[in-house]
Chain A
Amino acid sequence: MSTQEHKKKPVPPSWSTRFLEWFIKDDYFEDVQGDLEEEFQLKAGGDTLVKAKSWYNWQIMRLFRPAMMKKIEPQDSIEKETTMFKNYLKIGIRNLWKYKSSTVINVIGLSTGLAAFVLIALFVKDEYSYDKHFKDVESIHRVTVKNYTRSGDLSRHWAFASAGHAERLKEDYSDIQYAARFYPWAFPDLTYGDKKFPGEQVIFAGDDVFNIFSFPFIIGDKENAFKDLFSLVLTESTAVKIFGNDWREQEILGSQIKLSRSGQEAPFKITGVIADMPDQQHFHFDYLAPVRFLENVFDEGTMENVGGNYNWLTYIKLSPNTSLPALTNDVNEEFWDKYIGKFDTGEEARNFYDFEFQPVLDIHLNSNLEGEFERNGSEQLVFIFGAIGILLLLVACVNYMNIATSHYSRRMKEVGVRKVIGAFKTALVKQFLTESTLITIISIPMCLLMVWFALPYLNEFIEKNMTFNPIAQLDLLGLLLLLLIAVGMIAGLYPALFLSKVNLVQALKGEQVINHKKWNFRSLLVTFQYAVTIALIFTIGVMESQMAFIRNSDPGYERAHVLRLNLPRDANRETFKNELLSHPDVLTASYSSRIPTGRLMDSWGSRFFKGDSAVASNFRLPVVSVDHDFLETFEIDLLAGENFRNNMLTVLDFDTIVASQYIINEAASRAFGFDDPGQIIGERIRYGVTEGRIIGVMEDFHFESLHREIAPMLIIYQDNYRGISLKLNPVNLPATLEHIAGVFTTFDSENAADMQFVDDLFDRQYLKEEKVSAMIKVFAVIAILIGCLGLIGMVGFIIETKLKEIGVRKVLGASAQSIWVLISNRFLVLVGIAFLITLPIVYYLMDAWLNDFVYRTNISFFIILLPVILAIALTMLAISLQTFRATRVNPVECLKDE
């Protein structure tokens, strides 16, 4: 051998060799690779190394042919797998049967978690399906107008536009293909033959309505629906209501229906029937009539208005490929200059208005403007529930992991024997995954039962109409299958890995050595469960305390035993009121347009006189029409000035400015620049079509809900009444109510008395929060229950592993308490860690939630501590139950093994 060879021996490419080893028949590898290597060395000596290497690679590539390859025996391996799978299944079923109590706990935990997840998934799916059914829905937008104050702050943003907007926008912009305004004309009576339907909501809509929204026609068609001025399009269920179930057999097209309101009558003809509007739509109409009809009812000024009178729901449909931001920008640049220009004050109108075109798909979840047609959802809420759903599912999985690993000692010998016989780790993993999937499969029917059972209640509670039928709804079926696999895998993976890595010798010796390390993955799982529990309890705590804060806060007016009653049609105000007051338990009565707990929706323009010159005020000053008993009925105090006297009734005359008197609230007084309410008494203002002096200032009170700050408001003694409020003596209430209903019927035999206690109306303002809080409570209780199941399993496991230690301690004279402390210490540390991790996050989130309220409570120390106290209490309970058993064990029993 030369020295040169000695120095460095060339090496053939190792990856090639590995490749050869991988594919070539085991029997061939040694000599073939030896031959290749030998020749490679010969070549490397002569040729260059690179050449030798490429020769080597090339030869191996060419060896990659069927004759050289290992035999693939698919038949064989499938057969082996299925045989093994049968065995896993059999052992799995036997184990589930043998340890019935843990099977039951697991199935309860998993199926509850799954059911909660499925219910939440249904809710989320429903919330996201709004308005998707319309054709070209991406191009449909709602026109809204933002109003700004002089200083440029947003003063109001309603879901409505003015009557004159739709037509002008469509005319001026070619990108706006269709535009239609909608006017819900307040509740006329409908008459068909001798059938009468009082107080129906008829929506008057622009002719483009059927081009914007693809309402499917059952009879009639969109071209002819609004041809005639007196057209009326019904929905299917309205057709059933008017014509009966066999309406399809009748020739209802062209049938006459009379609309009447306040003595006026108009004959309408049925021109079409459209399918009922699906629940997942942000508005629902029963009757549609052409808006042209209203042109005869309203004056031209109203119909052409472009700068106010926001009562007209307006929708536009854009041409394909229109850029919404560009269009919005163009419109805002031009529209206001063109149609309004400058106000009387010389200010440019464009600084006070902005159009916003809302995509219809965003309305349900993301629009929460004043005057939304129906109550919308909230994407924030959808996220919250989505997060809770996923957390619940995880908690259920974690629960399974805890219980499965807790009982590892039961399976230790089995695992050991399998390993001795030659099971690979993968085989053991497969076996444990089979078991977890098996549990999940058993849980699915339970979950379905729970969902079917709970869905009607949930539907009633959140006022939805969700259905659950996985056979018909393929996406649900897919979800269930996905859940089955995902939960089986997630829940089973950790126990599988944990159990399969057991040391063979120790397993067979019966030693329990796995949990040597104190802080392992299992601690993490328990901490996670604690964290979820703490977060949910904290959330409930904050929500409840805010609810209590609102319930107990004084809104500034009397709401106990105050009843609101609708007005009989055409009754004399004076006689009706006196008739009601004739009952001794009706203490006071007051007419008003709105009552506290309602919304301050009506407002006129106000001007404040300084000397002879009037300055328009730059804040919104809404009005409520009342009578002289209003302040007394709601027990609102006057800070200065005096109440209306019963001869002060203002009668509006739209042709001239009429004299009037006003009472304003303290906030309005301050807004006018008078910090001392006494000073503003006697000042002159013009309000809408009235003018007069401020005669009183009342104490601020929460006319609207506590979501809003107390805003300036004004009351006027003027008959625009929509209801009467009665303060009752709570004694013998049923008899009093009967009297009231009786009086109502004598005045109006057609309509029913609608009586509502202001107390209830007050609570209803916070219904949304109440419902969310209640739902979170239910899910939190589920999470906590599942967590408790896991905890009990976990404590059982620890005691099992520490049985010998406990035995030794008992022999040496330890008391039951000291053993109890031994076990609980560890959990307390985990509770502490979970608390420290979770609290900052939920505190931040809940503080943001509270900030949505103008009047909010503070998160008290007690609420911060409550979840920890509860978590510790639950843990202690679980530990005590198990420890009691453990400490009673006879040391002989657990020490005799060795």
Chain B
Amino acid sequence: MREYQLGEFEEIVLLTVAILHGDAYGVSIKQEIETRLKRSVSVSALQTALRRLEKKDYLKSSFGEATAIRGGKRKRYFKVTKVGKAALDYSKETRMNLWSAIPNVTYEYARA
């Protein structure tokens, strides 16, 4: 299962979509990331990441309702797929493995 390629920003987006479960569309994802991570996100970066994730089958999207504030345009809701979930798991797992593999010596060394 080496094929779960996930960039840093992609991982954040994927996680945010998971957090917003059922209410993940462009604006909400962007606001969620901005409030949680205290960093500003451009529409361009977000959209690029979303589309790339969708292309990798980590996300799937469907059109939702249109609202007046959106000028009558429909929202595109994103959902994490099974593959996406697996990718997140894999990512978390590999990191945990890495974390647990850190010997204590390292910390001592760093402290010194």
Contacts and interface: CB of A to CB of B under 8 A. Distances in A.
B66 A34 contact: yes
Given A31-B25, A38-B67, A39-B30, A63 B73 contact: no
Contacts of A104: none
B102 to A, nearest CB: 36
Label chain A's interface by main secondary structure: helix
B63 interface: yes
Interface in A426-469: none
Contact of A35 (B26, B48, B51, B52): B26
Contacts of B42: 59, 62
A38 B64 CA distance: 14
A28 B74 CA distance: 11
Contacts of B27: 35, 38-39, 42
Most chain B beta carbons < 10 A, residue from A34, A41, A59: A34
Contact of A32 (B45, B47, B63, B71): B47
Contacts of A68: 44, 47-48, 51
Interface string B34-45: 000000001111
A374 B84 CA distance: 95
Given A31-B25, A35-B25, A35-B26, A65 B73 contact: no
Contacts of B25: 31, 35
B85 interface: no
B74 A35 contact: no
A700 to B, nearest CB: 96
B5 to A, nearest CB: 16
B29 to A, nearest CB: 9
Contacts of B70: 34-35, 37-38
Given A38-B27, A38-B69, A41-B69, A31 B43 contact: no
Nearest to A36: B43
Contacts of A41: 69
Contacts of B75: 31, 34-35
A603 interface: no
B76 interface: yes
A815 B88 CA distance: 94
Interface string A615-653: 000000000000000000000000000000000000000
A347 interface: no
A368 interface: no
Contacts of A42: 27, 69
B44 A59 contact: yes
For chain B, the bracket of interface size reads 20 to 34
A34 B73 contact: yes
A113 to B, nearest CB: 58
Given A39-B30, A67-B52, A33 B44 contact: no
B48 A31 contact: no
Interface in A13-72: 28, 30-39, 41-42, 59, 62-63, 65, 67-68
Main secondary structure of the interface of B (DSSP, over half): mixed
Given A35-B43, A39-B27, A59-B43, A67 B67 contact: no
Contacts of B45: 62
Nearest to A30: B73
Contacts of A37: 69-71, 73
Contacts of B52: 67
B43 A28 contact: no
Contact of A67 (B51, B69, B76): B51
Contact of B26 (A32, A65, A67): A32
Contacts of B63: 30-31
Contacts of B73: 30-31, 33-34, 37
Contacts of A63: 43-44, 47
A35 to B, nearest CB: 3
Nearest to B45: A62
Contacts of A28: 47, 51
Nearest to B46: A35
A36 B43 CA distance: 8
Interface in A113-162: none
Nearest to B63: A31
Contacts of A65: 44, 48
A35 B75 CA distance: 7
Contacts of B71: 33-34, 37
Contacts of B74: 30-31, 34
A28 B25 CA distance: 13
A67 B43 contact: no
A33 B73 CA distance: 8
Nearest to B68: A9
A733 B59 CA distance: 114
A30 B75 CA distance: 8
A782 to B, nearest CB: 65
A82 to B, nearest CB: 32
Interface in A303-326: none
A38 B25 CA distance: 11
Contacts of A67: 48, 51-52
Contacts of B76: 30-31
A89 B66 CA distance: 49
Interface string B54-81: 0000000001001101110111100000
Interface string B14-33: 00000000000111001000
B43 A32 contact: yes
A896 to B, nearest CB: 56
A81 B30 CA distance: 43
B69 A31 contact: no
A39 B34 CA distance: 13
B13 to A, nearest CB: 14
B50 to A, nearest CB: 10
Contacts of A39: 27, 30, 43
A24 to B, nearest CB: 9
A31 B29 CA distance: 13
Nearest to B52: A67
B28 to A, nearest CB: 9
A138 B44 CA distance: 64
A360 to B, nearest CB: 68
A220 B30 CA distance: 91
Nearest to A41: B69
Query: Most chain-B CB neighbours within 10 Å: which of A32, A62, A68?
Result: A32
When A and B form their complex, which 7 residue pairs have the shortest distance between CB atoms, in order from nearest?
A34-B73, A35-B26, A31-B76, A62-B44, A34-B70, A59-B43, A37-B71
Interface of B: 25-27, 30, 42-45, 47-48, 51-52, 63, 66-67, 69-71, 73-76
15 contacts: A28-B47, A30-B76, A32-B47, A33-B73, A34-B71, A35-B25, A35-B75, A38-B26, A39-B43, A59-B42, A62-B42, A62-B44, A63-B43, A63-B44, A68-B48
Interface of A: 28, 30-39, 41-42, 59, 62-63, 65, 67-68
Given A34-B66, A68-B51, 8 more contacts: A31-B76, A32-B43, A37-B70, A41-B69, A42-B69, A59-B43, A62-B44, A67-B48
